[in-house]
Amino acid sequence: MGNVTENFLRDQLIERRHRLEAVLPGSAEHAQLSQLLSEVDSALERMDNGSYGICEACHEPVEKDRLLADPLVRYCLDHLTESGRRALEQDLELAAQMQRALLPEQNLRHDGWEVSYHYAPHGPVSGDYCDVIVPGDAGSHLFFALGDAAGKGVAASMMMAHLHAIFRTLISTQLPVQQMLERASRIFCESTMSPYFATLVCGRAGAQGEIELSNAGHCKPLVIRRGEITRLEAGGLPLGLFCEGQYAAEAVQLQRGDSLLLYTDGLVEAQSAAGEEYGDQRLGQVAARLHALPPAEFVQSVLKSLQEFLRTAPMHDDLSVMLIRRAA
């Protein structure tokens, strides 16, 4: 385990210890809290003697994302007790339910825009971030974002929820998208451990077909105009790498029937059984061919193309696709 991760977890345990000590004297659940305090002290002791994060059954490293989710974990997944396994399954199911509740409404329409998306975790939870925010009044801009937190599993899903909260708070500021991205990156950096980062593209769409777009190291969005494909370059570093990152905005004008396609690397980096990637070029060709389909059918046809490419090969990453179209 890296020093940065262990230092972060040590700080979390010490903070937890202080809180427990503060509530213990007058608590009705004194025995339960005393046991929890004992577990915190044991974890701190294991950090001091170098055995923290090592499974007590097989002596192999415990999964890092599980330690981040619960610093008191003492066993790897392969050596959980039956009751521990049931508790973990329940926690993951609850986390998955909460993550699904954060997703935007499907097949949205607002002020001449149509949005459809597909969001598929590789496991119980996902590190992809997908959001569409519809303003309460007509004539205001539609906000959208698609991103990918580093890593997989529980830790990545926690980063995804963090991004969701950050942007849901910042949207009310009405800042230009590049300033919103700069502020989001600073908040994300200051509140997240240094090994973790996220790529993300976000934008606002206006009623006259104008889109203001900013990209933090994410996959290149595709503009689809009657079968012609334009790739928009990434404009900045991923969120969280540096607390003072700067980003640029790009203005895109869409005519009626034109679309903007966003996706995570789970799509273009998916590999066939022979090790061939689906790839940017293939996606562009498929998008050009499908350009006239309604948004929901377009997204499903992209997924069908991916499945035909993969055949029996499994997916190895979360997968998100979003199409934003100016209605004809």
Is residue 31 located within the same domain as residue 179?
no
**Is pLDDT at 49 greater than 60 in this prediction?**
yes
Question: Quick one: pLDDT at residue 104?
Answer: 93
Q: Residue 258 sits in a domain of what CATH number? A: 3.60.40.10
Is residue 249 located within the same domain as residue 146?
yes
Please state the domain count of the chain. 2
Name the residue range of residue 41's domain.
Answer: 3-80
3-state secondary structure 220-279: CCEEEECCEEEECCCCCCCECCCCCCCCCEEEEECCCCCEEEEECHHHHCCECCCCCECC
pTM of the model: 0.79
Strands 210-216 and 249-253: antiparallel
Question: Quick one: pLDDT at residue 227?
Answer: 86
Q: What is the mean pLDDT of residues 177-206?
A: 87
**Is pLDDT at 311 greater than 70 in this prediction?**
yes
- Let me know if residue 91 belongs to a domain: no
- Let me know if residue 89 belongs to a domain: no
| 3 state DSSP class of 138 | coil
Q: What is the mean pLDDT of residues 135-145?
A: 78
- Read off φ and ψ for residue 150, nearest 5 degrees: -60, 140
Q: Residue 44 sits in a domain of what CATH number? A: 1.20.120.910
**Is pLDDT at 269 greater than 80 in this prediction?**
yes
Is residue 137 located within the same domain as residue 229?
yes
Question: Quick one: pLDDT at residue 191?
Answer: 78
Is residue 75 located within the same domain as residue 144?
no
pLDDT category of residue 93 using cuts at 50, 70 and 90 = confident
pLDDT category of residue 63 using cuts at 50, 70 and 90 = confident
Q: Which residues contact 133 (CB under 8 A, 6 or more apart)?
A: 104, 142, 143, 144, 167, 168, 171
- Let me know if residue 92 belongs to a domain: no
**Is pLDDT at 6 greater than 60 in this prediction?**
yes
**Which has more pLDDT, 216 or 136?**
216
Cα three-residue angle 53-54-57, rounded to 5 degrees: 140
pLDDT category of residue 139 using cuts at 50, 70 and 90 = low
